[in-house]
Homo-oligomer: A and B are copies of this chain.
Amino acid sequence: MRISELSRKTGVSVPTIKFYIREGLLPAGHLTSPTQAEYDEQHLRRLRLIRALIGVRGLSVEATRQVLGALSEEQSQPHRVLGLALGAIRISEEPPEEFEQLATVDALLEELGWQVHHDAPARGVLAETLAGLQQLGTALDWHTLLPYARLAEETARLDLDQLEGVADPLELAERAIVLTTLLEPALMALRRLAQEHESSQRHND
């Protein structure tokens, strides 16, 4: 396909596609004449993934380059592909933030029996939440999180079900990012609406 069709199929503008090619994120097309290049399905999948990493996950061009590089080395292992796509595996050299509450988070993860990377950024988010709850003087602590974690397991099963049967690693990575990131506000909105419904049921008005 021509670059214009690639643009139409992905919603990424032609100048942006050219920018990604100059930056080395996307390989150049196959020249069919000095001024014409052809793009194939592999370009399409890679461009969709770039769009997800930059547009949906909000990564910089440099971070996207690193993820794409790491992905091409690990593409035969779906678990590694998902970890890289979703940021569970850190690729930058930046050390993770340290919170006092990380030890509590580890206790929670052990209780749950979850196998996760020791430096998964989500661990820091949990530690930060626990610090925030403590600072506000609430009675909520990590035990409060346990039943929520069990529901998160069921949510994750639904997520992984949506990705079953996707064999191409680039497509798997892209779909995982879209599903995980784009659904976040929707899941929080569903929780708000469900709270309202549940509250109306309990308080009978």
Binding site for B on A (CB under 8 A): 9-11, 51-52, 56, 77-80, 82-83, 86-88, 109, 112, 114-117, 120-123, 125-126, 128-129, 132-133, 135-138, 140, 144-145, 147-149, 151-160, 162, 175, 178-180, 182-203, 205
CB pair A186 B79 closer than 8 Å: no
Given contacts A79-B202, A114-B194, 7 further A-B pairs with CB under 8 A are A77-B205, A109-B193, A116-B193, A133-B182, A136-B178, A136-B182, A160-B198
- Among B9, B78, B148, the residue within 8 A (CB) of A190 is B148
Cα distance, A129 to B122, chains bound together (Å): 23
Interface centre among A86, A109, A116, A199 (most CB of B within 10 A): A199
Q: List 10 A-B contacts (CB under 8 A).
A: A56-B136, A80-B205, A82-B195, A86-B195, A86-B196, A114-B194, A123-B189, A133-B178, A152-B187, A187-B187
Verify B151–A192 contact, CB threshold 8 A: no
Instruction: State whether A79 and B199 are in contact (beta carbons under 8 Å apart), knowing that A186-B125, A189-B122, A193-B116 are contacts in the complex.
Output: yes
Could you tell me the distance in whole angstroms from the C-beta of A87 to the nearest C-beta in chain B? 8
Nearest-CB residue, chain B, relative to A179: B140
List residues of chain B with CB within 8 A of the CB of A80: 205
User: A88, B192: Cβ atoms under 8 Å?
Assistant: yes
Inside 8 A of A136's CB, which chain B residues have their CB? 11, 51-52, 56, 178, 182
Q: Which single residue of chain B is at the shortest CB-CB distance from A195?
A: B156
B117–A152 CB distance below 8 A: no
In the complex, the answer to whether A186 meets B148 with C-beta atoms within 8 Å is yes
CA distance A36 to B44 in the complex (A): 71
Complex CA distance for A86 and B143, rounded to whole angstroms:
24
Q: A162-B140, A202-B160 are in contact. Are A197 and B116 (CB under 8 A)?
A: yes
Give bound CA distance, A120 to B194, whole Å.
Answer: 11
| Given known A86-B192, A190-B126, A194-B114, contact A138–B178 (CB-CB < 8 A) | yes
